[in-house]
Amino acid sequence: MTILTTDAKKRLDVLVSEYAGVSRSHAQVLIENELVLVNGRPQPKNYRLREGDELEIEAMPVKELSAEAEDIPLDIVYEDDEIIVINKPSGMVVHPAVGNESGTLVNALLYHCKGSLSGINGVIRPGIVHRIDKDTSGLLVVAKTDEAHIFLSSLLKDHGIKRVYHAIVTGHLPSEKGTINAPIARHPIDRKKMAVVAGGREAITHYEVLRDYSSFCHARLQLETGRTHQIRVHLSHIGHPIIGDTVYGGGKTQFERAHAKYLSGQCLHAKELSFPHPRTKEIMHFEVDFPSEFSALLDILETL
């Protein structure tokens, strides 16, 4: 749709809410997931529309999503009145979305926290400050109060939350240590994927090779920015996709086929998480073990 004079200067989330007939928080979810484009590009929720702008809503659920409390076990690493740190298993979606309306981390948190979650992100993402992909395992912090959520979101924006991942990567990375600095945006053809795209949002990933194997390597990766699928896209972009990541070029080696029982998706684990506590400002550092499947693959690689 083309923005007319009557809608010029409106906030993007307000107009999407009006046009799509969804709540404003739901509109913000669509915007954050880059399913709303202005002149072919994503814009922040507070973007002020201009006459002549072309607005495109790429995916719009036919109903309002909600989240119900479900008694699902959680691996709780730390919890107090302000935050809860979770070790998420591979295979669990973080928050409800079309096609994944139950069984998510949010459903489990609603049951465990009995309503004590930040409401800033609306009914389908209460407390969620940052996410990790469904098939990525590991650490994430959830806000239990609005004050904690605001503090952690600000930290995230200013790169004040340290997030370290481990991955088993195909081939050998170009150097023992390095940085991938390549902008990321929605894939120009396959809109379900992300890609390195000129003019995309800044994306920076630091890597370190921990162990080289015959045709693979074990890498430690630290996010400086946090774009959707960032590590997966960056490693694929330089020709070294994560094993098991069939979306971004993995899953093609004989080793992956032979050991498919250990791979339910990309072999990527959020192992370390550090940030100042929202109330005390004490630096909190958390580290969790690899999932059994990840460890099994490393053990097998050691024998090759």
* Catalytic residue status for 7: no
Predicted pLDDT of residue 35: 82
Cα–chain-centroid distance for residue 108? Answer: 18
pLDDT > 70? residue 61: no
Predicted pLDDT of residue 66: 65
Residue 67: beta bridge partners?
Answer: none
Structural tokens at position 11: 């906030």
pLDDT > 70? residue 59: no
The C-alpha angle with vertex 174 and arms to 171 and 175, in degrees rounded to 5, equals 120
Q: How far apart are CA 297 and CA 277, in angstroms?
A: 35
CA distances to 106, 137, 213 from 93, in Å: 9, 10, 31
Q: Among residues of the chain, what percentage have pLDDT more than 90?
A: 67
Does residue 63 contact residue 69 with C-beta atoms inside 8 Å? Answer: no
Q: What is the CA radius of gyration of the chain?
A: 20
Q: For the domain bounded by 162-303, which CATH number is listed?
A: 3.30.2350.10
Predicted pLDDT of residue 62: 45
Q: How confident is the model at residue 115 (pLDDT cuts 50, 70, 90)?
A: confident
**180 phi/psi in degrees, rounded to 5:** -105, 115
Exactly one of 7, 133, 135, 245 is catalytic; name it.
133
Cα–chain-centroid distance for residue 135? Answer: 11
Predicted pLDDT of residue 177: 98
pLDDT > 60? residue 94: yes
Q: Among residues of the chain, what percentage have pLDDT more than 70?
A: 94
Residue 216: beta bridge partners?
Answer: 170
For 248-301, the DSSP string reads GT-S-SHHHHHTGGG-SS--EEEEEEEEE-TTT-PEEEEE-PPPHHHHHHHHHH
- CATH 3.40.50.2000 assigned to 76-157: no
The one-letter amino acid at 95: H
Tokens 């994503």 locate to 42
Which comes out higher in pLDDT, residue 163 or 31?
163
* Whether the predicted model's global pTM rises above the 0.85 cut: no
Predicted pLDDT of residue 63: 47
User: Mean of the per-residue pLDDT values for the chain?
Assistant: 90
Predicted pLDDT of residue 7: 85
Domain boundaries for CATH 3.10.290.10 within the chain: 5-57
Structural tokens at position 292: 């059994």
Q: For the domain bounded by 5-57, which CATH number is listed?
A: 3.10.290.10
Which comes out higher in pLDDT, residue 185 or 173?
173
Mean pLDDT of 2-16: 88
Name which of 59-68, 132-141, 222-231, 249-258 the model is least confident about.
Answer: 59-68
Predicted pLDDT of residue 99: 66
- The pLDDT tens digits for 263-285 are 999 999 999 999 999 999 999 99
- The pLDDT tens digits for 225-241 are 999 999 999 999 999 99
Does residue 272 contact residue 286 with C-beta atoms inside 8 Å? Answer: yes
Q: How confident is the model at residue 121 (pLDDT cuts 50, 70, 90)?
A: low
Domain boundaries for CATH 3.30.2350.10 within the chain: 76-157, 162-303
CA distances to 168, 227, 247, 287 from 266, in Å: 9, 17, 9, 20
Mean pLDDT of 43-50: 93
